Amino acid sequence: MADLEQRILVTGGAGFIGSAVCRHLVRSGASRLINLDKLTYSGNLHSLHEIADHPNYRFVEGDIGDEEAVLDLLRGERIGRIMHLAAESHVDRSIDGPAIFLETNIVGTFRLLSATLRYFRELDSYSQQAFRFHHVSTDEVFGDLPLESGVFTEETPYSPSSPYSASKAGSDHLVKAWHHTYGLPVVLSNCSNNYGPYHFPEKLIPLVILNAVEGRPLPVYGRGANIRDWLYVEDHARALERVLMDGRVGDTYLIGGRSERTNLQVVEAICAVLDERRPKPDGGSYKDQIEFVADRPGHDRRYAVDPSKIERELGWRAEESFETGLAKTVDWYLAREDWWRPLREQRYSGERLGRSGAAISSG
């Protein structure tokens, strides 16, 4: 059984969090790690260079929605545990074009579950006991908290606001249904906002770092009063390993860094690190580049996660504070222009997304 537990399939392992998970699992001794990723705009094999040639690691380009190909892969690699991260992940893009979010996050997860259940049923009972399907989800499924009070817990009812969070909520419900109806041994985790190295520069923190060093405006939606609860991505990767390996079947674990900040505080903190690390030639502050812009439609005011359950039951704790994690992140982007420059030039150059007042087609 020990061997099977260490034969792991990660979906979406070329993305921001998935690549951190792959690097972490290979370093911590997984006997076999398969990374299944379709390489959409946010998938990037350059994020995996340090493990690419490791004998225990294999990258497979493919779609979670291709049920037969997934089934072949599960059989061929004798997979014992699946960690499912593949998704469309950006709220602003989901406002402009929801269709691919439903296709990937809901239908894709359904097809992956179908392949997994067929494979699970072929296993002997010993292997079935060891098998797990870990679904990686978001705190956004719980919706909007008031600015002043309240936290998400494992008991918080679902109330998603955006096409992205609605599609993730749909996938969470499917995973739970496959457990209750078909007996698939699943675990779920819902995490708050991640940040750190290899983050695609459409999300707030990397976008602001790169716009700042390029002398461009730093766009803050509304008045910057919305609050997010930040977690360093490598802390998340360690948490996910704990849930995959020791999470209780059927249970959900909330993951967060106990680091609530308003968006304006986040942007100002980035500027303060940059002022120190790369002072502007004119002696001014990067804060002068901040611009308040039109708000995101349906913008949730506040997310805040209570991670007590995973801390108590699985012994996990965030190691980085927001200040130490942010300094590491800024330093990483300053050092790794080789990683981000091609993305800015070829995939996404920083223009505003997600303000769409246009009619949204279902196609």
Task: Enumerate binding residues for ligand NAD (CB under 6 A).
Answer: 11-12, 14-18, 36-40, 42-43, 63-65, 85-87, 89, 104, 108, 136-138, 168, 191, 193-194, 200
Query: CA-to-CA distance for 108 and 318, rounded, in angstroms?
Result: 31
Cβ neighbours around 300 below 10 Å, total: 21
Q: Which stretch binds ligand DAU (CB under 6 A): 109-117, 126-134, 138-146, 240-248?
A: 138-146
Tell me whether residue 140 is one of the annotated catalytic residues: yes
Under rule CB under 6 A, residue 140 binds ligand DAU:
yes
Q: Looking at 25-33, 132-140, 234-242, 341-349, which segment touches ligand DAU (CB under 6 A)? A: 132-140
Binding site partner of 219, from ligand DAU, ligand NAD, none, Cβ cut-off 5-8 A by kind = ligand DAU
Which has the closest alpha carbon to 101: 344, 304, 296, 354? Answer: 354
**Marked catalytic residue, from 119, 164, 198, 303:** 164
Structure-derived torsion over alpha carbons of residues 252, 253, 259, 260, reported in degrees to the nearest 10? 10
Q: Based on CB atoms, which residue is closest to ligand DAU, 139 or 234?
A: 139
Task: Name the strands in the sheet holding 81-84, side by side, starting at the edge strand that comes first in the sequence.
Answer: 57-61, 32-37, 7-11, 81-84, 132-138, 186-191, 252-255
* Choice among 37, 63, 88, 140 that is catalytic: 140
Which among 139, 144, 268, 300 is annotated as catalytic? 139
Q: Which does 296 bind (CB under 5 to 8 A by kind): ligand DAU, ligand NAD, none?
A: ligand DAU
- Please tell me the number of Cα atoms within 13 Å of 354 on its side-chain side: 23
- By the 8 A CB rule, do 8 and 81 touch? yes
Looking up tokens 């766009």 gives 219
Coil, strand or helix at 103: helix
Q: What angle do CA 98, 172, 109 make, to 5 degrees?
A: 65
Out of 82, 95, 220, 318, point to the residue binding ligand DAU (CB under 6 A).
220
Residue 226 in contact with ligand DAU, rule: CB under 6 A: yes
Q: What is the dihedral of CA 343, 347, 351, 352, to 10 degrees?
A: -110
Q: Judged by CB under 6 A, how many residues of this single chain contact ligand DAU?
A: 20
- Using CB distances below 5 to 8 A depending on partner kind, what does residue 226 bind out of ligand NAD, ligand DAU, none? ligand DAU
Single residue of 19, 105, 192, 259 touching ligand DAU by CB under 6 A: 192
* Residues 183, 341: Cα–Cα separation, whole Å: 46
Tokens of 246: 């020791």
One of 44, 104, 189, 193 touching ligand DAU (CB under 6 A)? 193
Q: Does 138 bind ligand DAU (CB under 6 A)?
A: yes
* Closest alpha carbon to 239 in 9, 20, 50, 5: 20
Q: Which stretch binds ligand DAU (CB under 6 A): 26-34, 136-144, 152-160, 272-280?
A: 136-144
- Nearer to ligand NAD by Cβ, of 118 and 347: the residue is 347
**Residue matched to tokens 């049920």:** 67
Taking CB under 6 A as the rule, does residue 203 contact ligand DAU? yes
Question: CB of 350 within 8 A of CB of 92?
Answer: no
Rule CB under 6 A: say whether 228 interacts with ligand DAU. Answer: yes
Site stretch for ligand DAU (CB under 6 A), options 83-91, 149-157, 269-277, 310-318: 83-91
Residue 237's contacts (CB-CB under 8 Å, 6 or more residues apart) are 17, 20, 21, 23, 24
Among 296, 309, 347, 355, binds ligand DAU (CB under 6 A): 296
Does 221 help bind ligand DAU (rule: CB under 6 A)?
Answer: yes
Binding flag, residue 136, ligand DAU (CB under 6 A): no
Beta-carbon contacts of residue 330 (< 8 Å; ≥ 6 apart): 209, 270, 273, 274, 277
Residue positions annotated with a catalytic role: 139-140, 164
Residues forming contacts to ligand DAU in the complex (CB under 6 A) are 89-92, 138-140, 192-193, 203-204, 207, 219-221, 226, 228, 263, 296, 303
